[in-house]
Structure 1
């Protein structure tokens, strides 16, 4: 299975020597973070009712037709208005159940990132749609957005063959806001992967330790994420090392060009 091979590669890439602990389930955690279908619990929709694939496909076509971030923001706000706080809580509760067996220290850090991914994104979406933004909302959308809409329509249609796609669609809507309107990674900075590496930011660039390893996972967010593949490990302590390296480079440049 292609996903299994990818997960094995991710474990080798992000793992820190001697850091694997019994029961951490690195395969499962990596799948939850990368494979959107694995993250979606598959339960039936709650009291808010279902969302038809016809409605989702129609919304995706509307989104494909917009040109600016502001236009996309308005459609996403309209679509997410059908959901309420209970839906967000249900999404979060699903993920909590799936990772309940993980070691507490790692689980708490992971859940903190997931809550930001769900509740934080929704809060920012509501505020921006109500209060408006600056000129950045007049900026054109990234070229990959058309492909993202097609992927969402296909993914929700596939999910509908098994269960209601309501929460999967909400996941994609929030991710569209995060990745294409505010241009941030689908998983917030600080999201921990098994082995210790994290999604990071350095000098205005978002870094992900598994970005290029997950491009072939069906319906994944990774191919559309603005984060780039990190070229060096992204353990939390690496930020201090990068800062020290940059300081040394600046000093070397100063002595070479001004005091040399």
Structure 2
């Protein structure tokens, strides 16, 4: 496993299926130790240390729990008929890995652990489950929430955070909540 991020290879024809990606993510997930998860959790807690409640708890504890539960689900998931035939957009996948790599900082062990952890979980959520990177119902400042309308997901900060350069929103499947108006 590349210690920095998920690096599945795909064949010469640039085709990749979700079942291949799932298998690679599961293999890489075995390289994430309990110590790595503890370091990632510590990073999540420190990253919001100056955020007022209740957002501090939402962004650290609740969000990390969502990520951890997704990680555990990934480790146990068996490919079903939909995953086997679901094709992955290789260009979008490469862009996501590039953005993850840009945020890596191997000099900071906690940030490095968090980045390796979310590189697996975010890729799983985005390309296998096709779900948002935050849980539906997660509250943002102002009381705005991630919402679901049928098979579409909406985020109140999608476009705002995508521009910041510090988030992974640009490859999240959510649409901006403004589109609902």
Contact 1:117 1:186 in 2 (8 A): no
Check if 1:224 corresponds to 2:163.
no
Q: Which runs of 5+ in 1 are unaligned?
A: 1-49, 235-260
Change (3 A) 1:232 1:156: closer
Contact 2:41 2:64 in 1 (8 A): yes
Contact 2:39 2:113 in 1 (8 A): no
The structure with the largest helix share of the pair is 1
- The TM-score normalised by the length of structure 2 is 0.79
Greater Rg over alpha carbons, structure = 1
User: Which stretch shows the higher mean deviation, 182-191 or 209-218?
Assistant: 209-218
- The TM-score normalised by the length of structure 1 is 0.57
Q: Which runs of 5+ in 2 are unaligned?
A: none
- 1:193: which partner in 2? 140
Deviation of 1:167 (Å):
3.3
Contact 2:96 2:171 in 1 (8 A): no
User: Which stretch shows the higher mean deviation, 161-170 or 79-88?
Assistant: 161-170
- 1:138: which partner in 2? 84
Partners of 1:88 and 1:161 in 2: CA distance: 15
User: Which stretch shows the higher mean deviation, 157-166 or 80-89?
Assistant: 157-166
Contact 1:67 1:141 in 2 (8 A): yes
Partners of 2:107 and 2:28 in 1: CA distance: 22
Partners of 2:149 and 2:28 in 1: CA distance: 33
Contact 1:92 1:114 in 2 (8 A): no
Partners of 2:113 and 2:140 in 1: CA distance: 27
Partners of 1:108 and 1:135 in 2: CA distance: 37
Change (3 A) 1:105 1:233: farther
Partners of 1:206 and 1:108 in 2: CA distance: 23
Partners of 1:105 and 1:157 in 2: CA distance: 30
Deviation of 1:179 (Å):
1.1
Query: Which whole-Å deviations, capped at 9, do the CAs of 1:182-235 have from their partners, x for residues lacking one?
Result: 11101111222222211111223211012223334447421211111113789x
Change (3 A) 1:113 1:206: farther
Q: CA RMSD in A?
A: 3.0
Partners of 1:233 and 1:197 in 2: CA distance: 13
User: Which stretch shows the higher mean deviation, 190-199 or 67-76?
Assistant: 190-199
Q: 1:177 aligns with which of 104, 124, 128?
A: 124
Contact 2:22 2:79 in 1 (8 A): no
What is the total number of aligned residue pairs between the two structures?
176
User: Which stretch shows the higher mean deviation, 220-229 or 175-184?
Assistant: 220-229
Change (3 A) 1:151 1:182: closer
SS of the residue 1:74 aligns to: helix
Q: 2:51 aligns with which of 99, 102, 105?
A: 102
Partners of 2:86 and 2:40 in 1: CA distance: 30
